[in-house]
Amino acid sequence: LGKGIVDAFGKLGTNLILDDKTIDAVIRDVTMALLKADVNASYVQKLRDEVKSQLDPKKIAEGANKRDLVRQAIIQSLIKLVDPGIPPFQPKKGKTNVVMFVGLQGSGKTTTVAKYARYYQRKGFKPALICADTFRAGAFEQLQQNATKIKVPFWGKKDETDPLVIAETGVNFMKQEKFDLIIVDTSGRHKQSADLLNEMEQVANTIKPDDIVLVMDSSIGQSAYDQAAAFRSKVKIGSVIITKLDGHAKGGGALAAVAATNSPITFLGDGEGFDALRVFNPSSFISTLIGAGDINALVDKIEGLNITKKAPDMITNLVGDKFCMKDMRSMFEMFEDIGPVSQMMEMIPGGMGRMYENLRQQTGGGSDEDVAGRMRKFVTILDSMTPKELAMTKPLPPERYPRLARGSGQPLGMVEYLMQSFKLFAKMGQQMKQIMPSGLSAEEMM
């Protein structure tokens, strides 16, 4: 997914004028990448409107880095999608908090109630667990085991088949015993059948919880919206917990759960152990989802390199029809500086990544080390040129190749490669010039 987003942001680098079409194309690519992470298609329009409203030309300051603005706008809009702007329920000290957990069987409820109890136990609460799942065989034993492991009292009755009776008597008992966080685990079954939903509604009406937590498995993908909406149609979901983020799923479906319930995500589960519960943070969740961490790291790296400051003449000459042999030497030095990491070059928006890729292919492909080795050979050849030859803006005539080969100790074929590469770079410079709007400097373009 990260790559899809990086490609999309890469478009910003080659499209110099940020018109609606460019922004649309970028959003479309970002959307495609999000779809692959199970983000619901209905977000396309929402996201587009959001990004566009943030990119109102009237609001953009003169001289602002537009590429950065688009990137930020997209990330901010995505964060809004997982953050409904409602403060999540927090149990209060000095009163009895009743929290009911709902969700499909297997989503991780019984595991998560224990994690939740432990989390608040450490914050000084006195939690108690109630097993109102009378449907699943062994549900009581599972909760009993979990509760024992975390040393939290529990309530349940193996022979009682009515969840309402258990929930009601359990909550009342724990209230009398002065537990201040009473957590009720309920049945999930396999489908969100009418029976399940009605039972859940009745339990909620009986115990009147302060919060209802919907537990969702991150791998459910595109069905997240319908599932969350079905639960929401019967009870007022106040919080969402997404589980199993330690697996393959990135949890894009979580965005849909938020939209369907209009409730905040409070925690993420990322393991089977009872400590594997993280407080939800919208921006780091989005960063993981779209690989923005990579993007930011890359931007930092590029800025740190200060390519245009290191080789200003090379860049100006490249687009100004004055690209000479000496400039090519500067370019190879620059590539060497960056560290020939093709994966990273791919991520660099604008011309540099393409140049490197062309260089790689034109000189016979291979690994980064192969390319680095060839660049070193190229530099040796360039170093055996006379100052006059270095100033040339055209490939040298072939009769000079043998002399250069001898002088540098390189095979003739290498000299030929070098000249081919030169032509290619000069041509690319001209292509770049054509797409450059007047008034934009070479530095801005890179």
Comparison of 110 and 410: residue with beta carbon closer to Mg ion: 110
Task: Residue 223: count other Cβ atoms within 10 Å of its Cβ.
Answer: 14
Contact code string over 274-303 relative to ligand GDP, x by CB under 6 A: --x---------------------------
**306 Cβ contact partners less than 8 Å away, ≥ 6 residues apart:** none
The binder of ligand GDP chosen from 160, 201, 246, 368 (CB under 6 A): 246
Give which of Mg ion, ligand GDP, none residue 269 binds (C-beta under 5 to 8 Å, depending on kind). Answer: ligand GDP
Binding of ligand GDP by 107 (CB under 6 A): yes
Tokens of 163: 């969840």
Residue type present at position 369: E
Q: Cα–chain-centroid distance for residue 421?
A: 36
Cα distance between residue 440 and residue 13, in whole Å: 13
The binder of ligand GDP chosen from 2, 4, 10, 108 (CB under 6 A): 108
State the alpha helices, DSSP H only, in 107-223: 109-122, 139-149, 163-176, 194-207
Determine the size of the site formed for Mg ion (CB under 5 A). Answer: 2
Give which of ligand GDP, Mg ion, none residue 276 binds (C-beta under 5 to 8 Å, depending on kind). Answer: ligand GDP
Smallest distance from Mg ion to CB 181, Å: 19
Binding of ligand GDP by 103 (CB under 6 A): yes
Question: Which residue has its beta carbon closest to Mg ion?
Answer: 110
Binding of ligand GDP by 150 (CB under 6 A): no
The binder of ligand GDP chosen from 31, 77, 111, 421 (CB under 6 A): 111
Q: 340 and 347 in contact (C-beta within 8 Å)?
A: no
Tokens of 390: 């270095």
Q: Which of residues 376-435 bind Mg ion (CB under 5 A)?
A: none
**267 Cβ contact partners less than 8 Å away, ≥ 6 residues apart:** 112, 115, 116, 119, 241, 242, 277, 278, 279, 280
Tokens of 28: 């479309």
Smallest distance from ligand GDP to CB 142, Å: 6
The binder of ligand GDP chosen from 170, 188, 351, 353 (CB under 6 A): 188
* DSSP assignments along 188-241, one per residue: --SS--HHHHHHHHHHHHHH--SEEEEEEEGGGGGGHHHHHHHHHTTS---EEE
Task: Determine phi and psi for 166, rounding to 5 degrees.
Answer: -60, -45
Smallest distance from ligand GDP to CB 230, Å: 15
Determine the size of the site formed for ligand GDP (CB under 6 A). Answer: 18
Q: Which of residues 88-147 bind Mg ion (CB under 5 A)?
A: 109-110
Helices 282-290, 66-82: crossing angle, 10 deg rounding: 120
Stretch that binds ligand GDP, among 73-81, 99-107, 122-130, 197-205 (CB under 6 A): 99-107
Binding of ligand GDP by 270 (CB under 6 A): yes
Binding of ligand GDP by 273 (CB under 6 A): no
Q: Cα–chain-centroid distance for residue 74?
A: 11
Site residues, ligand GDP (CB under 6 A): 103, 105-111, 188, 243-244, 246-247, 269-272, 276
